[in-house]
Amino acid sequence: MSLRVAIVIPIYNHKDEIGATVARLTPHGLPIFIVDDGSDEATQTVLAELADRSSAQVSLLRLPVNGGKGAAVMAGLKAAHRAGFSHALQIDADGQHDAGDVPRFLDAARAAPDAIVLGRPVYDESVPKARLYGRYLTHVWVWIETLSFAIPDSMCGFRLYPLEPACALIDAVALPTRMDFDIEILVRLSWRALRFVTIPTRVTYAPGGLSHFDVVRDNVRISKSHTRLVAGMLARLPILLARKVLPRRSEGASGSANAGRWWRIAERGSRTGMRLLALSCRLFGMRATRLWLHPIVAYFLVTGRAARLESHRYFARLKDVSPEGTTPSPNWRSAYRHMLAFAEAGLDKLAAWTGRVAQDDVAFDDPSAFDALVASGKGALVIGAHLGNLEMSRALAVRGAHAKVTAVVYTEHARRFNSVLAGAHRDFASRMVEVADFGPETAMLMQQRIDAGELLVIVGDRVPAHEAGRVTQAPFLGADASFAQGPYVLAHALGCPVYLLFCLKERGRYRLYFEPFAERIQLPRRERSAHLAAHARRYAQRLEYYCRKAPFQWFNFFDFWARQNGGADGRR
């Protein structure tokens, strides 16, 4: 995103300071909007002369009557937005702020163009102590109102706004127009999920400087503002808590930058938030905790545009290859149900590892293949998918001591959530092996486990996390998609039986589908590619079958059909 930044200076009767303030800002080469908030005639004369001298860089706006600092700032932001600027740097007219920090604000905005860049004051001995200590009461209230420490100082008049969200808020909400404006706009933008970046900046108070802060009236206004904001926070509490459980990730307007690159998509979850859900399970039970999932999912349905688009994409493909009326249409409702199923699956994983799922709640559709394998004492490679709840079967196997089941997972994936599960059961981490890719080293690592009769569970519907990862194209839901070669290469190296495993939630219970796939996978050198393609096609066919059986339970929220060079197949 290219930044077009203008400076907005609200002014009321600071005729003696404005000239020096503009002189310090002019070398940065940014257009300047000075908003005269109904100043006296002497100040108007100074401003008119200043605008005449610097007409190429300075634009002068005049409000007919004094409306307050908030009114002046809003007028300046809207004027800059109408003029085509993407960002506005607000700075007070009284010269308290260090104009030499302007490049630092611009650098921060380039690094995070969707964020609000806030000045965090660094005071010298000139600061009035009453003003300094009084600010901390507002800081505490702002931290309560946002349930966050992201805004360390909400009163500093040196800040940079992205204009699109700021002006959208100004048009939608009646913001205060006096000194309480600086506080309230930040809290309300925080509620709208904007990010904040802070820049330490020097603030000085000139002896005898003019201040428009009315100790009584403005403190009353600020108190009223905090009362409104606390009430607003309580009304938004489920959404604000949801953001703590599943904080946002960075994504472009369409998410295309990460198309086909699941490993670049940040895990949407904070360790603290997930542990709060785990605590809720212990204190209030699963049924009550499930209620929290609805506002959480609703929030991310609205804000998670990339995941929502991929859900729509998946259902559109599923609908194209399914009989009429058997598959949900791609819309907001289906995306909500899709995301809710994903959230419930995560909660069920936690329940399984903490013993809140009974053995009777999980049953095999046909246990004969699994029973025969366990009775043989052989190890096996079990290929699953991000379909249903593969973790459920592993947790119950560990807790019931029916078999030694180890998950083979890609490095760095879902670290936060896995750490919560690890705290739920001591055997979780010992039954999980992280790998970066499938190759000879991985095979050597796994051979001992196979020889000991363990079941190694991996997924076949996610490609390696390296650009050079080996993949095979196979038809899936009406189009070619990339499937990892790793499971079949690993099975060939281990020389063990291969099975497929899918664990679907049906009528409130989980049903395991355990199918023989190959007694042994052979990959002759001259026919290696053909054999890999054949195995990938068989796997894709079974995955498609179970996607049709449980359409809301396939959880690949990334562009599964994107080509590995980063391009997509064009379907949206």
∠ CA 466-494-451, nearest 5°, is 125
Q: Please say which residue of 188, 213, 235 terminates a domain.
A: 235
Residue 135 C-beta-side C-alpha neighbours within 13 Å? 18
In this prediction, residue 468 carries a pLDDT of 43
Do residues 481 and 560 make contact, with C-beta atoms less than 8 angstroms apart? yes
Whether 258 and 165 share a structural domain: no
- Is residue 491 domain-resident? yes
DSSP, res 267? P
Given a cut of 80, is residue 283 above it in pLDDT? no
Residues in the chain: 572
In this prediction, residue 360 carries a pLDDT of 72
> In 69-106, which positions are buried (b, 16+ CB within 10 angstroms) versus exposed (e)?
bbbbbbbbbbbbbeeebbbbbbbbbbbbbbbebbeebb
Do residues 407 and 381 make contact, with C-beta atoms less than 8 angstroms apart? no
* 176-221 pLDDT, tens digit each: 988 789 999 999 999 998 999 999 998 887 665 556 566 577 778 8
Given a cut of 60, is residue 124 above it in pLDDT? yes
With bands split at pLDDT 50, 70 and 90, how would you rate the model's confidence at 318?
A: very high
| CATH code where residue 82 lies | 3.90.550.10
- Is residue 240 domain-resident? no
Residue 271 C-beta-side C-alpha neighbours within 13 Å? 8
Whether 298 and 326 share a structural domain: yes
Whether 99 and 221 share a structural domain: yes
Count of domains forming the chain: 2
With bands split at pLDDT 50, 70 and 90, how would you rate the model's confidence at 260?
A: very low
Residues spanned by the domain of 113? 5-235
Whether 200 and 253 share a structural domain: no
Q: Which of 459, 467, 447, 448 is nearest to 410 (CA)?
A: 459
Q: Please say which residue of 235, 258, 278 terminates a domain.
A: 235
Whether 389 and 412 share a structural domain: yes
d(CA 88, CA 504): 51
Question: Looking at per-residue confidence, does 565 or 31 come out higher?
Answer: 31
With bands split at pLDDT 50, 70 and 90, how would you rate the model's confidence at 334?
A: very high
Whether 161 and 81 share a structural domain: yes
- Is residue 49 domain-resident? yes
Please write down the HEC assignment for all residues of 382-431.
EEECCEECHHHHHHHHHHHCCCCEEEEEECCCCHHHHHHHHHHCCCCHHH
Residue 513 C-beta-side C-alpha neighbours within 13 Å? 19
> E strands of 124-183, at which residues?
159-162
With bands split at pLDDT 50, 70 and 90, how would you rate the model's confidence at 409?
A: low
Whether 230 and 268 share a structural domain: no
Average pLDDT, the chain: 80
* 426-468 pLDDT, tens digit each: 444 445 556 555 556 667 778 888 888 888 888 888 766 554 4
In this prediction, residue 34 carries a pLDDT of 95
Whether 17 and 40 share a structural domain: yes
Q: Which of 562, 551, 460 is nearest to 506 (CA)?
A: 551
- Phi and psi at residue 184, to the nearest 5°: -70, -35
Whether 462 and 398 share a structural domain: yes
